[in-house]
């Protein structure tokens, strides 16, 4: 390498080695639904900014100014309220499909409106707007909510998007189901016959005090669970389970769910073993989320059926993916090969120390790599890890032993 002639001192700043692997955002929610925007935006021109446009919301004040008050029949203000009831809402991306100038009534909104499309010009509507989030904001949502999530078409579309973007879609079972019918909904003829590790199924709906009348009304459990997930991410980290955490703002349940800690015949067990996240309440506990597993359970025995484990793997894969972009198209000499390896391993050690993993390693795979592959520009690395488990079932084995009599009474035998 040639250099220009120089006579005298100089400082050359090298930035190699200062890049670190960073976690991607986990507490990002995509809410797709309907809002009474006509109540807060008085012209069609103003309303256009809130119809099938992704709008960032961080506070209750922003939510009210953008999407209006809680109003019967509209889902977005209620969903935002449910999330903010649990604590800081993280980053919420809201997509409203209701157009008061095109829909005579909110009841005219269809599943097709909610599922959305991407036009030939690239304009996205409904759930399809989630795909545009990275280019617009620099991050993807990780939790997906939608009006009519109990509808098979909407639920399936949510799952497709969650699989492509690596998040979780939360889908409610329909209102009015008995506990037996809720389990049957997972059957071959049911609305939620899926084994996707990307879908979280919730039941029953919860009762909350209506902001206008003060009377109890039913609300999807999904949006309260999303709020709990966000609050847990922000206070403890994405690697913690959202189960067995108090749900704020709930006054009752659509259907009573019985629970007693040692009783295997609990309603909570009936639902959880069918891959349904539910609520429980015991003495002085308040209403709590209850269920660690996605719809992948009970079909899959892989650790990814645990909601927190699938999220850990997603976070790890994306952190490695985005960091690796720094090395794409760089020379494949030993220094770069080892620099990538060591940087990710340093992140693995940090995450193991933070109890995200029991252990994790990242290495240049000298078995999979061949001279031909390297010559063709393909470099293989191997990531090995195991997410830290949750203490879902605690079993105490109790024994009665006469040796304690001998010790207490100083008996010879």
pLDDT tens-place values along the chain, 413 residues long: 445 665 556 565 555 555 678 888 899 999 999 999 999 999 999 999 999 999 999 999 999 999 999 999 999 999 999 999 999 999 999 999 999 999 999 999 999 999 999 999 999 999 999 999 999 999 999 999 999 999 999 999 999 999 999 999 999 999 999 999 999 999 999 999 999 999 999 999 999 999 888 899 999 999 999 999 999 999 999 999 999 999 999 999 999 999 998 888 999 999 999 999 999 999 999 999 999 999 999 999 999 999 999 999 999 999 999 999 999 999 999 999 999 999 999 999 999 999 999 999 999 999 999 999 999 999 999 999 999 999 999 999 999 999 999 999 999 87
pLDDT of residue 213: 86
8 A C-beta contact, residue 33 and residue 75 = yes
Which of helix, strand or coil describes residue 304? helix
pLDDT of residue 197: 97
pLDDT of residue 16: 53
Q: What CA dihedral angle connects 119, 140, 58 and 310, to 10 degrees?
A: 130
Residue 384 exposed, middle or buried by CB count within 10 Å (0-12, 13-18, 19+) = exposed
Q: Which of 92, 114, 68, 35 is nearest to 229 (CA)?
A: 92
| DSSP characters over 36-69 | -GGGT--SHHHHGGGSS--EEE-SHHHHHHHH-S
- Domains in the chain, ordered, with CATH? 28-309 (3.40.50.11780), 332-413 (no CATH)
8 A C-beta contact, residue 272 and residue 293 = yes
**Which run of H or of E encompasses 133?**
helix 133-137
8 A C-beta contact, residue 230 and residue 29 = yes
d(CA 231, CA 85): 10
Which of helix, strand or coil describes residue 266? coil
**Which run of H or of E encompasses 297?**
none
8 A C-beta contact, residue 130 and residue 144 = yes
d(CA 21, CA 321): 10
8 A C-beta contact, residue 167 and residue 142 = yes
d(CA 285, CA 246): 7
Rg (CA), the chain: 26
User: Which ranges of 141-288 would DSSP assign to H, the alpha helix?
Assistant: 152-165, 179-184, 221-235, 267-272
Residue 304 exposed, middle or buried by CB count within 10 Å (0-12, 13-18, 19+) = buried
pLDDT of residue 1: 45
Global pTM reads 0.93
Strand order of the β-sheet with 252-253 is 216-219, 206-209, 252-253
For 206, phi then psi, to 5°, come to -115, 160
Q: How far is CA 355 from the centre of its chain?
A: 19
pLDDT of residue 123: 94
Q: Which two tokens stand for residue 245?
A: 């955490």
175 CB contacts (<8 Å, ≥6 apart)? Answer: 150, 205, 218, 254
């Amino acid at each position: 390498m040639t250099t220009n002639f120089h006579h005298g001192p100089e400082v050359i700043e090298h930035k190699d080695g200062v890049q670190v692997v960073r976690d991607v955002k986990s507490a990002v929610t995509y809410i797709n639904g309907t809002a009474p925007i006509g109540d807060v935006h008085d012209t069609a021109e103003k309303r256009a900014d809130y119809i099938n446009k992704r709008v960032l919301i961080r506070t209750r004040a922003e939510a009210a100014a953008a999407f209006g008050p809680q109003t019967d029949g509209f889902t977005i203000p209620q969903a935002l309220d449910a999330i903010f009831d649990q604590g800081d809402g993280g980053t919420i991306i809201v997509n409203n499909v209701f157009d008061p100038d095109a829909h005579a009534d909110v009841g005219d909104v269809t599943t097709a409106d909610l599922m959305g499309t991407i036009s030939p010009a690239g304009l996205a509507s409904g759930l399809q707007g989630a795909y545009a989030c990275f280019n617009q904001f620099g991050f993807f949502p990780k939790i997906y909510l939608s009006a009519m999530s109990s509808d098979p078409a909407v639920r399936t579309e949510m799952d497709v998007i969650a699989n492509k973007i690596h998040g979780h879609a939360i889908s409610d079972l329909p209102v009015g189901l008995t506990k037996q019918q809720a389990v049957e909904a997972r059957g071959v003829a049911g609305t939620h016959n899926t084994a996707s590790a990307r879908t979280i199924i919730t039941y029953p709906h919860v009762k909350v005090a209506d902001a206008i009348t003060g009377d109890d009304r039913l609300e999807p459990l999904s949006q309260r669970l999303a709020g709990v997930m966000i609050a847990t991410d922000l206070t403890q980290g994405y690697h913690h389970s959202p189960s067995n955490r108090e749900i704020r703002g709930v006054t009752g349940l659509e259907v009573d769910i019985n629970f007693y800690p040692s009783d295997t015949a609990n309603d909570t067990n009936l639902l959880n073993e069918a891959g349904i996240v539910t609520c429980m309440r015991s003495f002085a506990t308040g209403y709590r989320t209850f269920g660690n597993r996605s719809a992948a359970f009970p079909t899959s025995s892989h650790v990814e059926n645990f909601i927190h484990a699938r999220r850990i793997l997603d976070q790890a894969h994306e952190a490695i993916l985005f960091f690796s972009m720094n090395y794409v198209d760089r020379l494949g000499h030993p220094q770069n090969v080892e620099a990538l390896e060591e940087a990710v391993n340093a992140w693995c050690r940090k995450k193991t120390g933070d109890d995200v993993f029991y252990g994790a390693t990242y290495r240049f795979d000298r078995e999979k790599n061949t001279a031909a592959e390297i010559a063709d520009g393909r470099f293989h690395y191997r990531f090995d890890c195991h997410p830290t488990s949750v203490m879902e079932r605690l079993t105490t084995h109790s024994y009665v032993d006469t040796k304690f009599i001998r010790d207490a009474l100083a008996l010879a035998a």
